Amino acid sequence: MIRPVLPGSTIGVLGSGQLGRMFAIAARRLGYRVHTYSPEYDTPTGQVADVEVTASYDDLDRVREFARRVDVVTFEFENVPFETAAAAAELAPVRPGGEVLSVCQNRVREKAFLRSNGFPVAEYRVARSSGELSASWHELGGLAVAKRAGFSYDGKGQARISSAEEIDEAWRSIGAQEAVLERFIPFDHEISVIVGRGVDGSIADFGILRNAHERHILDYTVCDPEHPLRAKATGMAHEIVEALGLVGVLCVEFFVEPSGGLLVNELAPRPHNSGHLTVDACVTSQFEQQLRAVCGLPLGSTRPLRPAAMANLLGDLWAEGEPDWPAACAVPEAKLHLYGKSEPRPGRKMGHITALADSAGEALARALEARGKLRVES
């Protein structure tokens, strides 16, 4: 049996954004210490961690020194190079493991993993040159989306192609590098399922989260316990986390087709923006679940305490000056979360609001109302 990493121990987090921050807050609540490692200073995670190490992911000596001082390593950012995770693994368990990271940080490997294990994905081709992109587009026929294989998220490194004339520009815009071209899916809506998997193989999911995007960035999420595809989508997420052998938390994003079909869009081997509402709405948050899983503790109950919805706060909200925080805080059962970022750039995730209510619909109305009140009149 693997011995659990008990409270009082130190967790190392690779990456230093808001996911690491909320993980560190959960870890501290249970009496753990947290060290964070990234190339940046004064980061969302570093502000609440015990130790913030600022060094390049390629500096493997610093990575080993970091891993030597912690009891287990996890990450909040899957684009940490594979070599970094491997260097850390020489000195401490890394959970989820480097192989999971390697599958999920590259769209070509991720799609191949999904397809070879029989999970449904949008039809796609792999392209390594603009010529291959062109051939792929003609094979798929019609509207398609090119996505860079690595470092592509929130619509970055992606381009829609609707005619042959757009292919060269699309290839340039995604950085002229290995990509997948997938058929555009005229989905009805998007959902995600977040699952935790423990060292002992136990699995728990947080049910269906229904997501709306703006400019390819998550705009809001609402819990949907009555979703007709609940059993099918959660079942598939359990099978995926098992097939990956992941220890930690995994988010599976799906497209729901108008016919009721389900397609897996993307995997994230860590807590996810769509699960932020679990902090205020569930017995165990997705961050505490990650902590329990990577420490070898029993998984916590994912039972929702109350219907909830979450609205993201992007840097655009600062366009007319500091948002009106007191106005948002005045909305009943609205909970404000800010990530400690000093520069509110457009499209940058600065925080979120979770609202609770008697029904999911009311919770969403409250979250959107609270966010609307933040805008100061010019």
The footprint of ligand AMP (CB under 6 A) covers: 122, 145, 147, 153, 155, 182, 184-185, 190, 213, 216, 253, 265-266
Distance CA(120)–CA(262), nearest Å, equals 7
Residue 217 beta carbon to ligand AMP: minimum distance, rounded to whole angstroms: 8
Q: Considering beta carbons, is residue 205 or 266 the nearer one to ligand AMP?
A: 266
Task: Find where tokens 């260097």 sit.
Answer: 87
Comparing C-alpha atoms, which of 235, 243, 219 is closest to residue 310? Answer: 219
Q: Considering beta carbons, is residue 122 or 356 the nearer one to ligand AMP?
A: 122
Residue 197 beta carbon to ligand AMP: minimum distance, rounded to whole angstroms: 22
Which element (helix H / strand E) includes 191? strand 189-197
Whether the Cβ atoms of residue 173 and residue 162 lie closer than 8 Å to each other: no
Residue 243 beta carbon to ligand AMP: minimum distance, rounded to whole angstroms: 20
Residue 290 beta carbon to ligand AMP: minimum distance, rounded to whole angstroms: 20
Q: Considering beta carbons, is residue 154 or 333 the nearer one to ligand AMP?
A: 154
Q: Considering beta carbons, is residue 4 or 155 the nearer one to ligand AMP?
A: 155
Comparing C-alpha atoms, which of 183, 175, 45 is closest to residue 122? Answer: 183
Q: Considering beta carbons, is residue 21 or 147 the nearer one to ligand AMP?
A: 147
Residue 253 beta carbon to ligand AMP: minimum distance, rounded to whole angstroms: 6
- Residue 331 C-beta-side C-alpha neighbours within 13 Å: 25
Whether the Cβ atoms of residue 338 and residue 376 lie closer than 8 Å to each other: no
Q: Considering beta carbons, is residue 256 or 370 the nearer one to ligand AMP?
A: 256
For 331, left (φ over 0), alpha (ψ -120 to 50), or beta?
Answer: beta
Residue 288 beta carbon to ligand AMP: minimum distance, rounded to whole angstroms: 25
Residue nearest to ligand AMP (CB): 185
- Single-letter code of the amino acid located at 179: A
Residue 187 beta carbon to ligand AMP: minimum distance, rounded to whole angstroms: 6
**β-sheet bridge partners, residue 94:** 73
Residue 306 beta carbon to ligand AMP: minimum distance, rounded to whole angstroms: 26
Structure tokens at 76: 């909040």
Task: Please report, to the nearest 10 degrees, the dihedral formed by the alpha carbons of residues 265, 271, 273, 277 taken in order.
Answer: 120
Q: Considering beta carbons, is residue 62 or 156 the nearer one to ligand AMP?
A: 156
Question: If DSSP codes are grouped into helix, strand and coil, which group holds residue 21?
Answer: helix
Residue 283 beta carbon to ligand AMP: minimum distance, rounded to whole angstroms: 28
Question: If DSSP codes are grouped into helix, strand and coil, which group holds residue 228?
Answer: coil
Pairing of strands 349-356, 334-338: antiparallel
Q: Which residues of 219-232 are buried (b: 16+ CB within 10 A; e: fewer)?
A: ebbbbbeebebbee
Q: Considering beta carbons, is residue 146 or 247 the nearer one to ligand AMP?
A: 146
Which element (helix H / strand E) includes 312? strand 308-314
Q: Considering beta carbons, is residue 138 or 216 the nearer one to ligand AMP?
A: 216
CA 348 to chain centroid, in Å, comes to 15
